């Protein structure tokens, strides 16, 4: 593998890491938004109002449900996606990843001693390094897909919850 190809792989690796961080930022903002609006809904005391119409209360419940769902999805998006998808491995007839590896910290940690890691690293060829990097890029892409799927659910749920909150507060006596 030439230098240009290796540089390309590292650029892809960096690009995917940036998008994972971007998903985390979106999830954090969404969870803060949902928390603030749940607080606003509670502060409006809609749940205590005896004069609120059934439509107003229903809108409040839908708003709360959407905001809670948005919060839950955003928190799930923030949790690490480091587990191996066994279904995907079985369906694609893929071998599970090795227990030890040269890049991912979870696999590096599986070496009994630092000397064992150093020994494997010293014995690895350029081709081994490229393979490890390519495998890690694939893992990062799985993480990014999972995070963005959850972030999208969180944003849609919080947007709907926000919209219903506006309607509930407008109808509140």
> E-assigned strands of the chain?
none
pLDDT at 27: 97
Q: What is the pLDDT of residues 11-61, one digit of tens each?
A: 999 999 999 999 999 999 999 999 999 999 999 988 888 787 888 889 999
Band (pLDDT 50/70/90 cuts) for residue 87 is very low
Helix (H) or strand (E) holding 99: none
- The answer, yes or no, to whether residue 131 has pLDDT greater than 90, is no
């Amino acid at each position: 593998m030439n230098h240009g190809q290796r540089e390309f792989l590292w650029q892809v690796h960096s690009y995917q890491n940036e998008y994972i961080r971007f998903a985390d930022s979106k999830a954090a903002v969404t969870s803060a938004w949902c928390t603030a609006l749940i607080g606003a809904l509670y502060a409006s005391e809609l749940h205590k109002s005896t004069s609120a119409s059934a439509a107003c209360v229903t809108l409040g419940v839908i708003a709360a449900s959407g905001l809670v769902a948005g919060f839950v999805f955003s928190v799930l998006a923030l949790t690490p996606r480091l587990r191996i998808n066994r279904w995907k491995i079985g369906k694609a007839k893929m071998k599970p990843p090795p227990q030890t590896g040269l890049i991912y910290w979870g696999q590096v940690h599986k070496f009994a001693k630092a000397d064992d890691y150093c020994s494997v690293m010293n014995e690895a060829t350029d081709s081994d390094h490229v393979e490890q990097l390519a495998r890690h890029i694939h893992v990062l892409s799985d993480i990014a897909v999972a995070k963005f799927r959850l972030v999208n659910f969180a944003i849609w749920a919080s947007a709907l919850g926000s919209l219903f909150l506006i309607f509930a507060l407008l109808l509140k006596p």
